[in-house]
Chain A
């Protein structure tokens, strides 16, 4: 079975840093994706980790530890437009299994 856990909600101040954790227990693992989804819109790709370690892309970084079944998404220098839901998804061959998403609210 697939079990992917992430916090339901997080709130942070504009300009701050927020870390969204994701833990997973899945029957298979080929990689881990992070997607951003604004309310009423489709998910958009943020990052993909297949090896352990940190992947940095501008203000967003994603970390993976396969032995711990753990990933996090780090959002730096938060902007109001970063208010959205962030989805952790584990890839097993062709299939993506998603967590329920973490709603991040950025306050001025």
Chain B
């Protein structure tokens, strides 16, 4: 596709369940980023991939969060045993490279944990 896509667009889940969020970056973009945006707050960096490697996982809030990327393309962000504080919009972005290129954002997945 022409832009970054994410699925699902909305996800409502019960506390304690696992969720998987998907990101399809722009074709040819080697760098991929995950951010979290809580209501009324700024974007919070979670993790980035250069190719299929994640050199920096320091932004992940806890060990319940994990992410992977395959084929230098699709990435999934998994949240295990969801908590109410995980409710947020999860945004994915991609860029040609990590060297200060413009990041293109997807529409986000709105996660609500009840």
Interface residues, chain A, CB within 8 Å of chain B? Answer: 4, 30-31, 33, 35, 41-45, 48, 50, 87, 89, 91, 93-101
Contact = CB atoms under 8 A, between A and B. Distances in A.
B42 A101 contact: yes
9 contacts: A35-B105, A42-B107, A43-B91, A43-B105, A45-B102, A89-B43, A93-B99, A94-B31, A99-B42
A100 B41 contact: yes
Contacts, number: 53
B104 interface: yes
Contacts of A100: 40-42
A42 B48 contact: no
Contact of A97 (B41, B45, B50): B45
A94 B50 contact: yes
A95 B45 contact: yes
B25 interface: no
Nearest to A92: B100
B45 A42 contact: no
Q: Nearest 5 pairs between A and B by C-beta?
A: A94-B98, A42-B105, A100-B42, A98-B43, A98-B42
Nearest to A46: B102
B54 to A, nearest CB: 11
Interface string B88-114: 000100000011101111111000000
A45 B50 CA distance: 21
